Chains A and B, each alone.
Chain A
Amino acid sequence: MIPLSWYLLLAAALFCIGLYGVLGRRNSVAILMGIELMLNAVNINLLAFWRYLTPTVIAGQAFAIIVFAVAASEAAVGLALIISIYRQRSTVIAEDVDLMKW
């Protein structure tokens, strides 16, 4: 069967790719997509640990459901913020939103 470490390696790879997306992209929507990749990697980790270490305790799946809810609300508010910034400044490039930089 599939060892646990394969799932964890895949989740680590997705997390690191999402991290590059957050740190290395200019567009704010692309940064949000990187954040969603990281949250998916976390969910894979949670469910893999649930399945392989404690399959009788449902806490792993409940945790993953809460992560879904948090990810959905954070995506909604983040995208509303991006649309609002676009209306004011006509840009979605993260480095151009620099009013509060010293």
Chain B
Amino acid sequence: MTPIQILFLVTALAAVLSAIMVVASPRLVHAALWLIVTLGAVAVLFVLLDAAFLAMVQVAIYIGAIAILIIFTAMLTRRVMGEAGPQANRSWWLAAFIGVLLFGALLALLVQVPAWWQATPPTIGVTADFLLEDLGASLVDLDRYVVPFEVASVLLLAALIGAIVLARPAERSGGEGAK
């Protein structure tokens, strides 16, 4: 067991255990905090995969924006009687069965590709700086991924406008304009 393997196993265990706590926590804010732990473990995995820039994007966007939004919404939508009540719906056993079934199916698929079970990562012949420059260049290169990049920008603009319109307080009937 090399140290890198031990580090991977510890991180993977942390990710899976905190994910289980996310879906099993009775209190919503606790589940959001466990989600932050999961997202941090995934960021560590990104670093192990030589994608350090994406690890920083994960921390900044997922933990810094999305998880904070989730905590805000959990606070803003507290039911008046507190968080009493079961957190699992009537057919939770079916959901658990589907989850286990899907994991079994994916495992059965994975054991059929023995090349992936002893793969050591191929060496990247270039420096991390070159990879980062290449990532940036690929997102604006006319021959590569400029179209998904621009479409993602439009999607973010649409989501921004949509979220503002949706979350606007309802106008009162005796509103501003004198009609």
Q: Is the CB of B159 within 8 A of A79?
A: no
Q: Is the CB of B48 within 8 A of A2?
A: yes
Q: Is the CB of A58 within 8 A of B138?
A: yes
Residues of B within 8 A of A19 (CB): 95, 98-99, 102
Given the interface pairs A51-B50, A77-B163, the reply to whether A62 lies near B62 with Cβ below 8 Å is: no
A-B contact count (CB 8 A): 259
Residues of A within 8 A of B50 (CB): 51, 55
Q: Is the CB of A52 within 8 A of B119?
A: yes
Interface band, chain B: 35 or more
**The residue from B46, B73, B103, B125 contacting A82, defined by CB atoms under 8 A apart:** B73
Q: Is the CB of A90 within 8 A of B148?
A: no
Q: Give 1 or 0 for each of A14-36: 1 = CB within 8 Å of chain B CB.
A: 11111111111111011011101
Whole-angstrom distance between the alpha carbons of A55 and B164 in the complex?
Answer: 40
Residues of B within 8 A of A24 (CB): 23, 88-89, 91-92, 94-96
- What is the predominant secondary structure among interface residues of chain B facing chain A? helix
Quick one: which of B57-78 are within 8 Å of A by CB?
A: 57-58, 61-62, 65-66, 69-70, 72-74, 76-77
Interface band, chain A: 35 or more
Q: Is the CB of A55 within 8 A of B122?
A: yes
Residues of B within 8 A of A90 (CB): 79-80
Q: Is the CB of B54 within 8 A of A70?
A: no
Q: Return B151 CB to nearest CB of chain A, in Å.
A: 8
Residues of B within 8 A of A26 (CB): 85-89
Q: Return B98 CB to nearest CB of chain A, in Å.
A: 6
Residues of A within 8 A of B117 (CB): 3-5
Going nearest first, the 9 A-B pairs with the smallest beta carbon separation are A24-B95, A73-B159, A23-B95, A21-B23, A24-B92, A80-B163, A80-B166, A12-B106, A16-B99
